Amino acid sequence: MYARHFALTRLPFETPAEADELFVSNASREAEARLAHLMELRGIGLLTGEAGSGKTTAVRRAAAQLHPGLHRVHYVSLTTGSVLDMYRSIAWEIGLPAEHSRAAAHNAIRAEVSRLAAEAGQLPVLVIDEAHHLRNDVLEDLRLLTNFSMDAESRMCLVLVGLTELRRRLSMAVHESLAQRLVVRHHLAGL
């Protein structure tokens, strides 16, 4: 009823809104710039902020700016399970069949990342949203997943997106090796 009264072409606040229809604050612009820098550097990035601060929106906007022929963005938000659960979610997202073992899933994902980089010339970008829920062993396996050619090259970008507590967790000694590999860290302040 009000859509017709106000001559709206569609209902406001429908989800999902297109990336170019979203409000862009200065903080969001900065987050998008940091994410774009991560795509240039390749490697692992961390985007944290409080609930509702616009983390996922910033990632969506940054992903929309990427050339689809050069980047392939994969989004995973199921972060409460085991390492194998995470690998199965990633495999499903990139179009691979589910493997029955952790090692087989790990190897299949790495092979697909290598194929995309070598044959298609694409940089896979893996976005793990709600990463503050990840178990310690899952965080470590994600780090290992990005280790190519004995750490001599980065064939993918991994973006960990989560609440502020994730930043605190990654400063703990148990995550030192992952924290050292973060090439971009950014905390998004609330609106």
CATH of residue 88:
3.40.50.300
Please check whether residue 38 is in contact with residue 45, taking contact to mean a CB–CB distance below 8 angstroms: yes
User: Is residue 173 included in any domain, yes or no?
Assistant: yes
User: What pLDDT, on a 0 to 100 scale, did the predictor assign at position 5?
Assistant: 77
38: tokens are 């991560």
| HSE-up (13 A, CA, CB side) for residue 101 | 3
Measure the CA–CA gap between 86 and 43, rounded to whole angstroms.
19
Range of the domain at 63: 26-188
Q: How far is CA 126 from CA 1, 77, 130, 175, in A?
A: 41, 11, 13, 19
User: What pLDDT, on a 0 to 100 scale, did the predictor assign at position 19?
Assistant: 60
User: What pLDDT, on a 0 to 100 scale, did the predictor assign at position 24?
Assistant: 73
User: Is residue 122 included in any domain, yes or no?
Assistant: yes
CA angle 184, 121, 17 (to 5 degrees): 60
Please check whether residue 109 is in contact with residue 94, taking contact to mean a CB–CB distance below 8 angstroms: yes
Quick one: how far is CA 67 from the chain centroid? 16
What is residue 44's three-state secondary structure? strand
Please check whether residue 111 is in contact with residue 103, taking contact to mean a CB–CB distance below 8 angstroms: no
CA angle 145, 149, 153 (to 5 degrees): 85
User: What pLDDT, on a 0 to 100 scale, did the predictor assign at position 135?
Assistant: 95
pLDDT tens for the 191 residues of the chain, in order: 666 777 777 776 666 666 666 667 788 889 898 999 998 888 999 999 999 888 998 999 899 988 998 999 999 998 899 999 999 999 999 999 989 999 999 999 999 999 998 888 999 999 999 999 999 999 999 999 988 765 566 888 999 999 999 999 999 999 999 999 999 999 998 76
Cβ neighbours of residue 29 closer than 8 Å, sequence gap 6 or more: none
Structurally, the chain folds into a number of domains equal to 1
User: Is residue 47 included in any domain, yes or no?
Assistant: yes
| HSE-up (13 A, CA, CB side) for residue 13 | 0
Q: How far is CA 74 from CA 94, 146, 158, in A?
A: 7, 14, 10
User: What pLDDT, on a 0 to 100 scale, did the predictor assign at position 12?
Assistant: 67
User: Is residue 145 included in any domain, yes or no?
Assistant: yes
User: Is residue 98 included in any domain, yes or no?
Assistant: yes
